[in-house]
Chains A and B, each alone.
Chain A
Amino acid sequence: MVPYKNTFGAIKKDTKNKQVLDKLQVEQERGITVKAQTASIVYNYHGQKYLLNLVDTPGHVDFTYEVSRSLAACQGAILLVDANEGVQAQTVANFYLAFVNEIVIIPVLNKIDLKNANPAGVKEQLKNLFDFSPDEVLSVSAKLGIGVTEVIEAIIRLVPSPEKKCNKDSPVRLLLFDSWFDRYKGAVCLILVVDGTLKKGDHITSSHSGKSYEVRDLGILTPLETSVPQLYTGQVGYFTANIRAAKEAQVGDTFHLKSAKCEPLQGFKPAKPMVFGGVYPIDQKEHPALKAAIEHLCLNDASVSVSIESSASLGQGWRLGFLGLLHMDVFTQRLEQEHGAQVIITTPTVPYKVKLRGGRVIREFGREEVIITNPSLWPEKNNISETNEPFVMGTIITPDTYLGAIIGLCHSRRGVQYSMRNLDNTRLIIQYKLPLNEIVVDFYDALKSLSSGYATFDYEDLGFEPSDIVKLNILLNGQVVPELSTLAHITQARTLGKNICEKLKETLPKQLFQIAIQAAVGGDILARTNIKPVRKDVLAKCYGGDISRKMKLLKRQAEGKKRMKMYGNIEVPRETFINILKR
């Protein structure tokens, strides 16, 4: 939400300024906010000037991390609901996030200018779900400037000044709640001045690392960076201090005056990656460039976990952990758009928790309970005493006509219904407990397509619960292809195995002998198919000129074979792996 009022004119009202805060290409294309942005404005209310700091946060649950970081620096939140679409699944999640942070929530309906806007209906939803009285709910059209003043004034009236939590007379203490990297200035740190006043030239120390820096520049975001000489208690702004490593600007860190003793502020919970995907360069030569691109993106997104992974078939790459699916999509899209990196993304997987059995194996893993994200590290069956998989509570809001189809979908994904109630006359809010691995691949797409795009979905983490997880192996003529092994729930292994076998049959080139493709869990063969041997492959004519041409081709093929991954005598081209492993 961007205020429009001649009073501040922070942003001009013209068509060029459509998405001022959503700067990233991916944000503008998808119409979403990925990266929290801030803007500071001054408002004159009843003869008094108020400085308001606005943080625009992502709405999607994947970015809960961003949201919670921002909430920690805020005293109030505007719960913005589209007057056409009504309450979305993510509205529910974000409401509770603000609610548990005990900050003031101001419900606002946006886009009331649109033809299909139904403010009364949406207000009813807000009443049913969150117990907001319809009188509390404000209505705005940001596009036309309707109701903006009321929102600003409601903020001034309802949201308390940060002074209660702050002490302007104490030595300066700063909460770092976001940072990004500027190649010239180093890390740009977005901070809340909790105590004291920050001035240019101040020497400040990180509680986390103990390193000290001299503040080079500081300012507020209007939303462009605007230098100011000092930042006062309770103000949100940025500073740069020639911080050259992004790791030194950790979100949640407390900075304080170099000499002063300081009690660090409560940091944020570290982000917990829930969805993992392999990222490989399409061409191994691009590995260094991709590495640089990933590092660069991670500077601004500390929630991505990075570990090096090498696959015999795909080469050197990384296993990246993301907060959720959208997060993964957005990250990879940014890799491609902002860095021009051509990448292969493997099918997303989730972490599993395994309780081990047997002294030797426990010693080997170093502990009794291990988190496994890579099938190749899955312990032997007889070393496992219990397997666990992550579950989520999924919230679906849908017009009631799609109820049957949605129940069908959730059940096929091992979902267990938790609750269902009416949101209004035509809409339902349904909650399902679902295994995370059932939703990471295509659940959202399936939901969207069976509800013609009307159903919305969001989920929250429920943690690990016992579940029968097995390792599904793919065999070519009896030999396991480790790159194709996957972890799956026992009831899904057969279907998954069949799919992989069929895909292999389509993409693995015929060879000189028959190939048996099998999917197996332990010694049990769950699916099987065959590829017949090639029957004719020989040049028709081979005389004078043909020989040169043929030799050229043969040399190329021979070169190709050298690079080909062999399983027994079976050659598996990289394209086949890509086809099976990619998302």
Chain B
Amino acid sequence: MFDYLSVRSTFSLMKVLHSIWKWHPIKVGSISITHVHTLSNEDLKKAEQRLSHATLPKSYINNGSVYVHWPYCRQRCSYCNFVKFIPHPNSYWTVQDNTLEHFMVKELEHSLQHSYITNVKSVYFGGGTPSLARPQMIEKVLETIQAVCSLEGNAEITLEVNPTSFETNKLKDFKSVGVNRVSIGVQALDETSLRLLNRDHSVPEALHCINIAKQLFPGRVSVDLIFGRPNQTTGSLVKELETILSFCDNHISLYQLTLERGTKLFNQHLSGEVKVPSADQMADLYEVAVSLLGDSGFKRYEVSNFAHGCSAESVHNKSYWRGLQYIGIGPGAHSRVVPKNTIEKNNVVYNVYSSKCSEQDKMWSGSRIYEENSFNPTIQLSKNFFSCTIREARVNAADPANWLREVQIKGSGVRKVTAQTVLDIVSEYMASGLRTSEGITAEKWSMFLPQISLFDIFHERTLWLQESKLLCVSKQGLKATSIGLNVLDSILPYLLNILEEKFI
């Protein structure tokens, strides 16, 4: 293996390390012995020499947010393909609240300790149906954050709420443990739609929930709506939005109904039992909604999110779109974290999985599936720099029982880790950042990739998109126009290719 290394001196470090960390398949959930080849000191030195300077400012690596995934739901919504489980007393996936909470806390502690995050700016409880969880869960999570690092004083603590009266009644308790923002899953304001979507609440219950929430969390209530439902017309959507505008607070998330493979609705659509609006009708519905909400002072600050005033915008969600770090806790949760098992030297973060890692760390990384990132960039300036890992994308085991076992054994429920290079990071930032009215800013870009300016990469190559009034490119950054935002997914592949060319 190491002969190979010396022959191919341009071979990227990450690849070398991958080959070092070759292991045999590991049985899930059992304590496993990994066959780890370790580097000699000399080899390591060689490897280090190949590393160039991958820098991320402290402001990036020290800040982050936390997402907690509550995996249970009372019933299955017909459109939902999220990680969720319906608890049954005897099912293997049903874990006692106490246990689940305990291991969530364990995982949170572990993940924070293995990151550079010292300051948590927001916490989001999603699911599943997190409003079914006990308020203690939230309390424990927030306490843990404060114990391991610090939770910012005015941190946004959001809870997704399912608007049944049972859960509405718990809002007060949730507030008392620290929740300061709620997102209410209203979805539709007609009973037929609620039945079709298999929601477990009624329209009056939802409206009641909004009212109570507004009293408890004034200025911090969001409602979720789904448009593009079967039989929905622009007329009925306008009516529904007008009603919701008269009830809601200052934030609306409006999602297009998407038919996800494997869901009941998808099958109903396949069999012709239900018919969703055509592509053109969807475009009509969306345009009508954006314009109506705009007229009512709700600015589209992201493709599906509308806020009345900047302060109403979701801090937590914006951190996703800005490419910041987040730690996901609980079954099926995703994370984006700069891992701590790296060598730090002169403000330079290298990500090296080396023999310097503790035995525990080896065990910790050893039972995951490592994925080579698919862009496989090589760079004109310094090939090594751009192919070295600086962040990880992690996915937790989806099944609560498996997740729990992983946490028990390794301290974390992570099942899959994908190493992210600078290119991966900026690609994600571009794909999610352009969804926002802010766009991607030169300032944030330079945090990831100070070597090449956003303007220089994109200005000339996107003139045709600019002339078609789909994209704005300036020294300050890149953003989609309001028409461009509607068709962003058709624009992004071009931008990704332009970006990728810089890495070849």
A548 B255 Cβ-Cβ under 8 A = no
Known A512-B465, A536-B279, A540-B258; contact A555-B374, beta-carbon cutoff 8 A: yes
Residues of A within 8 Å of B497, CB to CB, are 558, 561-562
- Does any Cβ of A come within 8 Å of B448's Cβ? no
Residues of B within 8 Å of A550, CB to CB, are 431-432
A542 B500 Cβ-Cβ under 8 A = no
Give the distance in Å from the alpha carbon of A498 to the alpha carbon of B88 in the complex.
Answer: 62
A538 B496 Cβ-Cβ under 8 A = no
Distance of A179 from chain B, by nearest CB (Å): 52
Residue of B nearest to A512 (CB): B490
Digit string of A408-426 for contact with B (CB within 8 Å is 1, else 0)?
0000000000000000000
Contact check: which of B374, B428, B493 meets A547 at CB < 8 Å? B428
B334 A540 Cβ-Cβ under 8 A = no
B487 A538 Cβ-Cβ under 8 A = yes
Give the distance in Å from the alpha carbon of A543 to the alpha carbon of B332 in the complex.
Answer: 13
- Does any Cβ of A come within 8 Å of B326's Cβ? yes
Residue of A nearest to B498 (CB): A558
Give the distance in Å from the alpha carbon of A15 to the alpha carbon of B304 in the complex.
Answer: 72
Distance of A463 from chain B, by nearest CB (Å): 51
Give the distance in Å from the alpha carbon of A103 to the alpha carbon of B206 in the complex.
Answer: 96
Which of chain B's residues 408-442 have a Cβ closer than 8 Å to chain A?
418, 424, 427-428, 431-432, 435
- Does any Cβ of B come within 8 Å of A312's Cβ? no
Give the distance in Å from the alpha carbon of A541 to the alpha carbon of B83 in the complex.
Answer: 15
B283 A547 Cβ-Cβ under 8 A = no
A555 B283 Cβ-Cβ under 8 A = no
Count chain B residues whose beta carbon lies closer than 8 angstroms to a beta carbon of A: 52
B493 A558 Cβ-Cβ under 8 A = yes
Give the distance in Å from the alpha carbon of A513 to the alpha carbon of B286 in the complex.
Answer: 19
Give the distance in Å from the alpha carbon of A537 to the alpha carbon of B303 in the complex.
Answer: 11
Give the distance in Å from the alpha carbon of A569 to the alpha carbon of B491 in the complex.
Answer: 12
- Does any Cβ of B come within 8 Å of A308's Cβ? no
- Does any Cβ of B come within 8 Å of A544's Cβ? yes
Give the distance in Å from the alpha carbon of A533 to the alpha carbon of B491 in the complex.
Answer: 13
Give the distance in Å from the alpha carbon of A344 to the alpha carbon of B325 in the complex.
Answer: 50
A538 B493 Cβ-Cβ under 8 A = no
Residues of A within 8 Å of B470, CB to CB, are 512
Give the distance in Å from the alpha carbon of A536 to the alpha carbon of B485 in the complex.
Answer: 9
A543 B317 Cβ-Cβ under 8 A = yes
Give the distance in Å from the alpha carbon of A62 to the alpha carbon of B494 in the complex.
Answer: 50
Known A512-B491, A551-B427, A569-B464; contact A544-B328, beta-carbon cutoff 8 A: yes
Contact check: which of A535, A537, A555 meets B496 at CB < 8 Å? A555
Give the distance in Å from the alpha carbon of A560 to the alpha carbon of B304 in the complex.
Answer: 27
Contact check: which of B424, B486, B493 meets A557 at CB < 8 Å? B493
Give the distance in Å from the alpha carbon of A504 to the alpha carbon of B493 in the complex.
Answer: 23
- Does any Cβ of B come within 8 Å of A377's Cβ? no
- Does any Cβ of B come within 8 Å of A100's Cβ? no
A547 B375 Cβ-Cβ under 8 A = no
Distance of B227 from chain A, by nearest CB (Å): 9
Count: A-B pairs, CB below 8 Å = 106
Digit string of B312-331 for contact with A (CB within 8 Å is 1, else 0)?
00000100110000101000
- Does any Cβ of B come within 8 Å of A228's Cβ? no
Which of chain A's residues 531-583 have a Cβ closer than 8 Å to chain B?
533-545, 547-548, 550-551, 554-555, 557-558, 560-562, 569
Contact check: which of B280, B287, B334 meets A548 at CB < 8 Å? B334
Give the distance in Å from the alpha carbon of A161 to the alpha carbon of B328 in the complex.
Answer: 95
Contact check: which of B286, B424, B432 meets A536 at CB < 8 Å? B286
Known A512-B470, A551-B428, A558-B496; contact A540-B256, beta-carbon cutoff 8 A: yes
Known A542-B432, A551-B431, A558-B497; contact A534-B490, beta-carbon cutoff 8 A: yes
Distance of A505 from chain B, by nearest CB (Å): 15
Digit string of A305-338 for contact with B (CB within 8 Å is 1, else 0)?
0000000000000000000000000000000000
Contact check: which of B280, B375, B492 meets A535 at CB < 8 Å? B280
Known A513-B468, A536-B487, A554-B496; contact A542-B283, beta-carbon cutoff 8 A: no
Residue of A nearest to B67 (CB): A544
Give the distance in Å from the alpha carbon of A512 to the alpha carbon of B333 in the complex.
Answer: 35
- Does any Cβ of A come within 8 Å of B292's Cβ? no
- Does any Cβ of B come within 8 Å of A511's Cβ? yes
Residues of B within 8 Å of A569, CB to CB, are 464
Residue of A nearest to B326 (CB): A544
- Does any Cβ of A come within 8 Å of B282's Cβ? yes
Digit string of B469-504 for contact with A (CB within 8 Å is 1, else 0)?
010000000000000011111111110110010000
Distance of B462 from chain A, by nearest CB (Å): 11
Residues of A within 8 Å of B488, CB to CB, are 537-538
Digit string of B61-79 for contact with A (CB within 8 Å is 1, else 0)?
0000001000000000000
B432 A554 Cβ-Cβ under 8 A = no
Distance of B437 from chain A, by nearest CB (Å): 13
B282 A536 Cβ-Cβ under 8 A = yes
Residues of A within 8 Å of B375, CB to CB, are 555
Give the distance in Å from the alpha carbon of A569 to the alpha carbon of B286 in the complex.
Answer: 27
Contact check: which of A540, A544, A554 meets B304 at CB < 8 Å? A540
Give the distance in Å from the alpha carbon of A541 to the alpha carbon of B280 in the complex.
Answer: 19
Give the distance in Å from the alpha carbon of A562 to the alpha carbon of B493 in the complex.
Answer: 9
Contact check: which of A533, A538, A544, A560 meets B303 at CB < 8 Å? A538
Where the two chains meet, the residues of B that have a C-beta atom closer than 8 Å to any C-beta of A are 67, 83, 255-258, 279-280, 282-283, 286-287, 303-304, 317, 320-321, 326, 328, 332-336, 374-375, 393, 395, 418, 424, 427-428, 431-432, 435, 464-465, 468, 470, 485-494, 496-497, 500
Considering the complex of A and B, which 4 residue pairs feature the smallest CB-CB distances, nearest first?
A535-B283, A536-B283, A544-B334, A540-B256
A selection of 25 A-B contacts at a CB cut-off of 8 Å is A534-B490, A535-B283, A535-B487, A538-B487, A539-B258, A540-B255, A540-B257, A540-B304, A542-B303, A542-B320, A542-B321, A542-B431, A544-B67, A544-B333, A544-B334, A547-B428, A547-B431, A550-B431, A551-B428, A554-B427, A554-B492, A558-B497, A561-B493, A561-B494, A569-B464
Where the two chains meet, the residues of A that have a C-beta atom closer than 8 Å to any C-beta of B are 511-513, 533-545, 547-548, 550-551, 554-555, 557-558, 560-562, 569
